[in-house]
Amino acid sequence: MTTNHSRRDLLKFAAVAAAAGSLAGMPVLAADDKKELLGKPVPVTPGPDRWKGLKVGVASYTFHQLPLDKCIAGIKQVDLHYVSIKDSHLPLKSTTEQRKEVVQKFKDAKILPLSCGVISISNEKNARQAFEYARDIEVPTIVASPKPDTMTILDKLVAEFNIRIAIHNHGPEDKEFKSPYDVWEVIKDHDPRIGLCIDVGHTERAGVDPAEAIRKCKARLYDCHFKDIVAPRGRNQAAEVGRGVLDIRGMLQALLDIGFKGHIGFEFEKAAANPTPGLAESVGYTKGTLSDMKPASA
């Protein structure tokens, strides 16, 4: 039987995360992910996986006003262990050596990079730069905002590098990709390694149900930006997860039901100078919401 937690109950998780990330316990990482961190198994706190098998981490854009060391410290404080790297923490014009150094800093903190972006792509030169960057930091997915006329270029590069592209929808203001369905129409006849990063907030603002879009686009959903927003329409205004209008439980259920294996990155866009408290609340609320959930097939 499903339990409807009160917000107070759910925020107990947030209080723990905000006070000390180490108290929340390490997640049960997939076997392949364990091998990636320092080349040895990651310590795992005994007990159930509170994320129910989902790879929940942080889009480092959350910390875009802060330097790399504070970004890493913030992610550690909320006890998450995956990241999507934004170029504010590792410039696209960096050298291979610089890229390796930054990735190692994340790994030393037991944070595994799973994607990078959002990266704008308009021609073959900057597309190739994005793929070389992703290759050097050893992530399987590039979250991107490409021009629609670059699809043939992307077909070639996803095959050459065997790295996926996840096209990010940016809501009503985006001329090309307002919702995930706009992305789908452009990519459906291209290499299956060209897919989507569903931004749930921008999806709602575009008039599309994010949970429905997750289900309908599951075959090529490779990344997800997870958040809450103040209002379903209008300009983008962030809220702590659970304080806004999005159906958090419905979106999580959709991700569980499709067995989503990609990165689910908290992208907290409020209080950019000090996002950790709001991020911690968002993490705690989400973890609490998941506590009594299971895939529909379970």
Q: Where are the domains of the chain?
A: 7-290
Is-contact 274 71, C-beta < 8 A? no
The second-level CATH assignment, the architecture, of 7-290 is: Alpha-Beta Barrel (3.20)
How far apart are alpha carbons 245 and 229 in whole angstroms? 6
Cα–Cα distance, 56 to 268 (Å, whole number):
13
Predicted confidence band at 246 (pLDDT cuts at 50, 70, 90)? very high
Q: Is residue 27 helix, strand or coil?
A: coil
pLDDT for residue 250 is more than 50? yes
- What is the rounded CA–CA span in Å between residue 112 and residue 36? 7
Res 266 pLDDT > 90: yes
φ/ψ of 136, rounded to 5, equals -70, -30
Query: What is the pLDDT, as a whole number, of residue 7?
Result: 59
Q: Is the pLDDT of residue 180 over 90?
A: yes
- At which residue do the structure tokens 């979250």 appear? 143
Buried b (16+ CB within 10 A) or exposed e, 161-184: bebbbbbbbbbeebeebbbbbbbb
State the burial class of residue 224 (Cβ atoms within 10 Å of its Cβ: 0-12, 13-18, 19+): buried
Q: Which residue has the higher pLDDT, 19 or 93?
A: 93
Helix pair 248-257, 276-290: axis angle to 10 deg: 60
Percent over 70 (pLDDT), the chain: 84
pTM, rounded to two decimals: 0.88
Q: In angstroms, rounded to a whole number, what is the distance separating the alpha carbons of residues 90 and 67?
A: 10
pLDDT at 27: 44
Q: Is the pLDDT of residue 91 over 50?
A: yes
